[in-house]
Structure 1
Amino acid sequence: MCYFDHQLWPCGWWKWGNFREQCPREYRTGETCGLKLVFNTYLEPEVCRHCDQIYKKQRRVAKMDDDVRRWRGEGNRRATIEKTEREMLALNMQIAELWAEHEVRKHAINY
């Protein structure tokens, strides 16, 4: 039952901050009892690093999609289109993994 700061982002991502106060259960100086309680919650105004990575990948996929549409109209770029579509598929899988990690972290209590 030692007290720690708590950082919270608008998307629900959070992390423990600095140690603030020792509880009466732990008598050793500098040690914590292992139970964490929130001393103060700091709301962060910007997006978390995880969401920022996701948004960057989504912008990249959107750019690739626009390029593929343009190339299809031009014709004669089949190999480039196929390569870009494979990259888009890989990026979409990475985005899905990042969202899954984000949801797990958002609902976890032990990080």
Structure 2
Amino acid sequence: MCFYNQRRFACGDWSWTSFAHRCNYEYRTGETCGMKLVNVTENESSLCRLCEKIETKFRRRSAEMDRLNRWKRDGSQLPASIAKTQHAIMELDQEIRQLQRERDDRRKALC
């Protein structure tokens, strides 16, 4: 039951930051007992690293979709360019799903 500071992000995710102080149960010098308790919570106005990556991928996907829709509407691009853009959108979707799964797994974990 050693105490650590905690950082809570705007998205609801959190992370451990610095060590605050040792509990009375650990008798060895320089050691911690292994149990982490929150000493102080520092609220951040920014998103966590994973949420920032997800938002970046969503913005890129949106730009690709806008470009694809414009090309289809105007008929100004070659079919190869359209296929390449569709492939890029599918890859972005897969990366977004992977990052969301990673974020959900992290939120379910205790430490």
Structure 1 residue ranges without an equivalent (≥5): none
Distance 2:73 2:18 in 1: 56
Query: RMSD between aligned alpha carbons?
Result: 1.1
How many residues align? The count is 110
1:30 corresponds to which residue?
30
Counterpart Cα distance in 2 of 1:105 and 1:10: 16
Rounded to whole Å, the distance in 2 between the matches of 1:101 and 1:11 is 14
Q: What TM-score, normalized to structure 1?
A: 0.93
- What percentage of residue pairs aligned between the two structures are identical? 39
In the alignment, structure 1 residue 103 sits paired with structure 2 residue 104: yes
Tell me, yes or no, if structure 1 residue 87 matches structure 2 residue 91.
no
How far apart, in 2, do the equivalents of 1:14 and 1:107 lie?
12
SS in 2 for 1:56: helix
Alpha-carbon offset, residue 12 of structure 1: 1.8
Structure 2 residue runs of 5 or longer lacking an equivalent are none
Deviation of 1:3 (Å): 0.4
CA distance in 1: counterparts of 2:78 and 2:4, whole angstroms: 57
CA offsets 1:9-35 (integer angstroms, 9 cap, x no match): 121211111111111111122210111
Match of 1:41 in 2: 41
What is the TM-score of this pair, normalised by structure 2? Answer: 0.93
